[in-house]
């Protein structure tokens, strides 16, 4: 029995690198097709190939993207505040902040990353921009966050709180500029039609907002008879896996089987 893998990615830069790396390892076009398109277009590929026996959706940003300063995904290194998965489309995070209101930014930080200091950060960021100080680099945004949280007591917890706030702020912006929740919602709607009867799906999420959306959709599909089974409990990486890959710690996996 011989299968065929279809992979989607909206990032033209990393997609090209992945294509070459896998081709060098023997994964040629006879068994692997890489499509430069969003995974929410799964219905288009499914229609073309007749549905899938298995779908794996990895909703995380890749290490290659995080580790590239030019992409602006990490607050740890200086670079342009971009955060787009495809830098050829849409607007950057810096452009998004240029005209955002304090209320909208506070809402974004809360809804996309449950940021407890969303109101304080939104006020500080929008005030900085109104003063003519454009926040267009990762370092500038990190500096505003650190300055905003300077009121916290100087203890060992302060550094960790600032780090987590930076992570949540960058996450919230990334979700916004890439319309990640809208894309995931569309994917979950199209997913049943893309699976063959008895087909399986596994979805890896990396923050609570994604996990809640996936859990709700799979549960609803099960109640409607679309799925014969689904993960009632989330599957987490083992301690050994986390030790080997620190970025796996926040991963949650949910799965489902389409009814036959």
Q: How far apart are CA 249 and CA 122, in angstroms?
A: 28
Q: How many CA atoms lie within 13 A of 55 on its CB side?
A: 31
Mean pLDDT of the 1-16 span: 84
Above 70 in pLDDT, residue 176? yes
Question: Domains in the chain and their CATH numbers?
Answer: 5-63+180-258 (3.40.50.150), 84-177 (1.10.150)
- For residue 166, what pLDDT is reported? 94
Q: How far apart are CA 147 and CA 91, in angstroms?
A: 26
Q: How far apart are CA 210 and CA 53, in angstroms?
A: 23
Above 60 in pLDDT, residue 190? yes
- For residue 169, what pLDDT is reported? 95
Above 90 in pLDDT, residue 62? no
Full-model pTM: 0.87
- For residue 15, what pLDDT is reported? 83
- For residue 61, what pLDDT is reported? 72
Above 60 in pLDDT, residue 186? yes
Beta bridge partners of 204: 58, 253
Which of the two residues, 158 and 13, has the higher pLDDT score? 158
* Per-residue pLDDT tens digits for 71-116: 776 788 899 999 998 888 889 999 999 999 999 999 999 999 999 9
Give the 3-state secondary structure of residue 221.
helix
Q: How far apart are CA 9 and CA 60, in angstroms?
A: 12
Residue 62 DSSP label: P
Is 169 exposed, middle or buried, given 0-12, 13-18 or 19+ CB atoms closer than 10 A? buried
- Where helices occur in the chain by DSSP H, the ranges are 12-24, 42-49, 63-66, 93-98, 102-113, 118-130, 138-148, 156-177, 180-194, 208-223, 239-244
Q: What is the side-by-side order of every strand in the sheet holding 52-58?
A: 52-58, 195-205, 252-258, 227-230
- For residue 178, what pLDDT is reported? 92
Q: How far apart are CA 121 and CA 123, in angstroms?
A: 5
């Amino acid at each position: 029995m011989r299968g065929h893998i279809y992979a989607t990615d909206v990032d033209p830069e990393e997609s090209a690198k992945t294509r070459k790396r896998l081709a060098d390892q023997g994964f040629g076009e006879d068994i692997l097709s890489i499509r430069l398109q969003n995974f929410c277009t799964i219905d288009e590929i499914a229609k073309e190939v007749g549905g899938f026996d298995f779908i794996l959706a990895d909703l995380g940003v890749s290490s290659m993207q995080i580790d590239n300063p030019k992409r602006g995904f990490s607050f740890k290194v200086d670079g342009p505040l971009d955060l787009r998965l495809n830098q050829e489309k849409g607007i950057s995070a810096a452009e998004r902040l240029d005209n955002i209101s304090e209320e909208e930014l506070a809402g974004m930080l809360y809804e996309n990353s449950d940021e407890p200091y969303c109101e304080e950060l939104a006020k500080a960021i929008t005030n900085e921009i109104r003063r003519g100080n454009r926040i267009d680099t990762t370092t500038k945004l990190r500096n505003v966050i650190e300055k905003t949280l300077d009121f916290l007591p100087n203890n060992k917890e302060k550094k960790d709180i600032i780090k987590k706030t930076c992570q949540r702020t960058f996450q919230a912006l990334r979700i916004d500029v890439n319309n990640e929740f809208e894309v995931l919602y569309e994917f979950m709607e199209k997913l049943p039609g893309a699976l063959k009867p008895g087909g399986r799906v596994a979805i890896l999420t990396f923050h609570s907002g994604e996990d809640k959306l996936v859990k709700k959709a799979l549960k609803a599909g099960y109640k409607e008879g679309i799925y014969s089974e689904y993960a009632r409990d989330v599957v987490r990486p083992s301690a050994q896996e986390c030790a080997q890959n620190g970025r796996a710690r926040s991963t949650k996996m949910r799965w489902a089987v389409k009814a036959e």
